[in-house]
Amino acid sequence: MKDTNLEKVLGKLYSIFNDPNVDEIFIDSYKDIYYTENSKIVELKDIFSNREELENFTLSLINYFQVKITEETETLNLSFDDYRSVNIILSTINKTGPILNFMKLPQKTFGWEDYLKHGAIDEEGKNVIEGLLKENKNIIIAGPVGSGKTTLLNLVVNSIPLPNRVITIEKIRNLIIDRKMTARLIAESSNSKGVRKLIEAVRRMRADYIVLDDIHGSEVVDYINLINEGHSSVSLIGADNIFDALRRIEIFALNDYNAKTLDDIRYSISTAFDYIVFQEKLENGKRKVTKIGKVIFDGEKPSIELVYNK
């Protein structure tokens, strides 16, 4: 069904936004606009004539969502529906005007058969991950930008055996969940404060599994404390390699204003997380799970013992 109000707001971008082959539209300035179609980047021209037009477009879009902004508002994450959203960086923190990213999630969930078919994992790797889920292990999904780690996170979460109750903590709506007994919490803001509020809320809910869609701030301290109360978890973190994932968690934890000593943080990390599943983008462009490591504590710091290496 056509949304005439949205068509009016988006104007020239409406047909592109509705194109099922378009995954993302990003506006870096009024004259710097691109979209991705079937993984290829295409430049758009003659959408806005000047910065003022882009400013008015952004305000109209915010009004479409009936969101109030103040002088303190810097970023907004807004959802059109379960599959389409927009991230807005307001001109208060960018000299060239607003920055907008329109994102569209695939409406099809990937299963293990899809991963096997595309060579993203083999039977051995699949069996290892399924075994970890059956044993209620705490898993981190790690990988660099563009490696498909969010797709893998979706697959792992959808594979959590019933009747486990899953509660997700999401900075933005970017997960595709296709399972019963799942409650989704979306942060009002993607900063540490917004996520911390949800972590505190989860403490009062009966969760068998807690899912954090992005470890990227000092809120990881609260999350580690929550996991160490006895919950199972699946989390995601950006990392260039499997060993860097633990180091990045350390750094985020040390940025917390209530941070413990480094020794305490390292011990807490080693008790909170059991395994790391690493996916990367190969030189041929394919995404693949290449390593699975067990988190161990060597007496001084957490380290990784590889149980799967391809």
Which is nearest to 227 in space by CA: 153, 140, 132? Answer: 140
pTM (2 d.p.): 0.85
The pLDDT of residue 189 is 66
The pLDDT of residue 79 is 87
- Specify the CATH number of the domain 4-104: 3.30.450.370
Q: Model confidence over 210-236: pLDDT tens digits?
A: 999 999 999 999 999 999 999 999 999
Output the DSSP codes for 261-299: -HHHHHHHHHHH--EEEEEEE-TTS-EEEEEEEEEEE-S
The pLDDT of residue 91 is 83
The pLDDT of residue 70 is 85
Q: Find the mean pLDDT for residues 180-195.
A: 83
What is the token pair recorded at 286?
Answer: 């394919």
pLDDT at 1 over 60: no
Which of residues 274 and 188 earns the better pLDDT score? 274
Question: How does strand 275-281 pair with strand 287-297?
Answer: antiparallel
Domain range list for the chain: 4-104, 112-309
112-309 has which fold?
Rossmann fold (3.40.50)
Cβ neighbour number for residue 141 with a 10 Å cutoff: 30
